[in-house]
Chains A and B, each alone.
Chain A
Amino acid sequence: MKIRHPPATTTSPEHYRFWGEAAIQLETSVQLPGGLPLYSHPVPAGFPSPADDHIEDHPDLERLLVRHPAATFFLRARSEALHGDGILSGDIVVVDRSLKARHDTLIVAAFQGEMLLRRLYWKDGHTALLSSHPGFSAIQIPRIASLEIWGVVTGILRVL
């Protein structure tokens, strides 16, 4: 059994290295004959980290993107209809059903059996689904009842 404790107050790089070895020795070599480890952890005894009092959780993506977990769904964009708004085919679209859609919001709409990603035009008694790509024309909605607003787009996710 070989245990050498590092001096507690020295901080040169060399001593760090030495300390590391000692820790490994503690972990691996201190065993009772029956196989039970005497120590299972290295015991550091140096300066406490000056950052200890300032530790924060990492920025939580879920919390940033999902304000209402019960009402938030992820869908997959499969068209370039909102290309001009920066939503590309393949993007993951974050949709919050708890929000009320207003004029000029990006929405997912259920219309004539399809789920569409569009900008809602809803003003002066006129309703339409707009696109921001020249290849798509606006869809006029004659009766508001024939349109179901599935949810409001609150974000996109893109893994490169």
Chain B
Amino acid sequence: MYALVDCNSFYCSCEQLFRPDLKGRPVIVLSNNDGCIISRNTEAKALGIPMGAPWFRVQELAGRHNVAVFSSNYELYGDLSRRVMSVLSSLAPETEIYSIDEAFLELDGFRDPWNHAKRIRNRVRQWTGIPVSVGIGATRTLAKAASFLAKRDPGTEGVLVLGSREAISRALQQMEVGNIWGVGRRWAAHLQALGIHTAEDLRRATPSWIGRRFGVILERTCRELDGVPCLPRALHSSNRHQIIVSRSFGKRVTDPAPLREAVVTHTARAAEKLRQEGLVALVLQVFIQTGDPSQHGVTAVPLPYPTSDTRLLARAAVTGLDRLYHPERCYRKAGVILLELRAPGPVQGDLLEENAIRTDGDRAERLMAAMDRINHTLGRGTVTLASQGTLQSSQNWKMRRDRCSPHFTTRWSDLREVR
């Protein structure tokens, strides 16, 4: 038995936890740079504000209905997500974190899964203040379908178990095929042309026939709907293949200086993640983008040896950026990707001693560890490379978060006040 626990309107719920005055009011959260809508509470959905809509298009409607609008506060959402996941891990023998607001739990051995799901829901709500839905089924795909239906049917009170054959059939008949986990819009159109409209239709299709027409992925989905688990537990594997850090700029950037600061800052963050995973990288890729896809640039810079040293990675990033940069272009986004990740091993010495930093041996490692420790205890950005720029200069490229709520749970200066 699998359970999918899914936080309801997660970002909005996080905002509302610290703002009881917003009870009953429509709330929406905007993506980076306040671009489009990425979370809506029930009241906002009822107004017909569509998910993913650009902010400027709903601005007028939002004003008329007194909608509370927030920039995304990932510091807050990340902290509350961690709390939710920690409560979940105390309630099931195995948990797989699937995204910031979803986790799969393995519930084998629980005699009354419905009862346990209720307990999960109540516990998460009480401890963290975040409302969740729980869907339960014999496979991950069925659990996901159950949670989808639980959210939409108030009669379920947020918990739905797809146990018996009849219950599964009845539930899947109410679900369009395009709403099944892993079935994209293109496949959905294709399936409907073949007369497969509901999830139940897909469950009844012959898996091998589906496999021949659509490939192994949809064949697995088809079997999973029929109660045969065939998705590997690979979602969260720590064997990462790459680390990406990229951000859109708050405004267009043409000067090389802010561009360089942004790229070095992203590199520093990527290097920190790399060290957290205990890995080193052999290749660094830099990319910069304008509004015009034909002007998008990407380049790979090999590193002298596998490393997680921010200074070496930053040097490579700047080399790459200099190759890509055109003075007459307006850039809106930059990023770095670390590739060829591996566990650190013995390194061949550099015969020509070209890389002065390298000869420090484990001093570099200790320096990076010290930097990480300081930034962890005193806050991100306490110790940085000079080339990352200053708080002031970063205003030339940092993303916009005009409507961001305080970082209630991660900064002493931002604690919620009580009267």
Instruction: Tell me, rounded to whole Å, the shortest Cβ–Cβ distance linking B7 to chain A.
Output: 14
Contacts of A111 in B (CB 8 A): 20
Contacts of A10 in B (CB 8 A): none
Stretch at the interface among B124-132, B172-180, B194-202: B124-132
Contacting pair B418 A79 (CB below 8 A): yes
Q: B23, B86, B419: which has the most chain A beta carbons within 10 Å? A: B419
Contacting pair A78 B20 (CB below 8 A): no
Q: In the complex the two chains form, what is the Cα distance from A93 to B418 in whole Å?
A: 9
Contacts of A16 in B (CB 8 A): none
Given contacts A71-B83, A113-B20, contact A92 B419 (CB under 8 A): no
Contacting pair B419 A79 (CB below 8 A): yes
User: B403-419: contact bitstring with A at CB < 8 Å (1 yes, 0 no)?
Assistant: 00000110010011111
Q: Decide if B282 is an interface residue (CB 8 Å cutoff).
A: no
Number of interface residues of B (CB under 8 A): 21
Instruction: Tell me, rounded to whole Å, the shortest Cβ–Cβ distance linking A65 to chain B.
Output: 14
Instruction: Tell me, rounded to whole Å, the shortest Cβ–Cβ distance linking A106 to chain B.
Output: 11
Contacting pair B418 A70 (CB below 8 A): no
Q: Decide if A74 is an interface residue (CB 8 Å cutoff).
A: yes
Q: In the complex the two chains form, what is the Cα distance from A111 to B412 in whole Å?
A: 24
Given contacts A71-B127, A97-B128, contact A115 B416 (CB under 8 A): yes
A residues 98-115 touching B (CB-CB < 8 Å)? 98, 108, 110-111, 113-115
Contacts of A77 in B (CB 8 A): 417-418
Interface of A is mostly: strand
Q: Decide if B87 is an interface residue (CB 8 Å cutoff).
A: yes
User: B17-43: contact bitstring with A at CB < 8 Å (1 yes, 0 no)?
Assistant: 010110100000000000000000000
Instruction: Tell me, rounded to whole Å, the shortest Cβ–Cβ distance linking B413 to chain A.
Output: 10
Q: Decide if A148 is an interface residue (CB 8 Å cutoff).
A: yes
- Closest residue of chain B to A114 (Cβ to Cβ) is B419
Given contacts A113-B23, A148-B20, contact A97 B418 (CB under 8 A): no
Contacting pair A97 B20 (CB below 8 A): no
User: B82-103: contact bitstring with A at CB < 8 Å (1 yes, 0 no)?
Assistant: 1110110000000000000000
A residues 32-80 touching B (CB-CB < 8 Å)? 68-71, 73-79
Q: Decide if A120 is an interface residue (CB 8 Å cutoff).
A: no
- Closest residue of chain A to B124 (Cβ to Cβ) is A70
Q: Tell me which of B21, B412, B415 contacts A113 (CB under 8 A).
A: B21
**Top 5 A-B pairs ranked by shortest CB distance?**
A113-B21, A110-B20, A71-B127, A76-B415, A78-B417
Known: A71-B87, A73-B408, A114-B20. 16 other contacts (CB 8 A): A70-B83, A70-B128, A71-B128, A73-B409, A74-B415, A75-B417, A76-B415, A76-B418, A78-B417, A79-B419, A92-B415, A97-B127, A97-B128, A98-B127, A108-B418, A117-B419
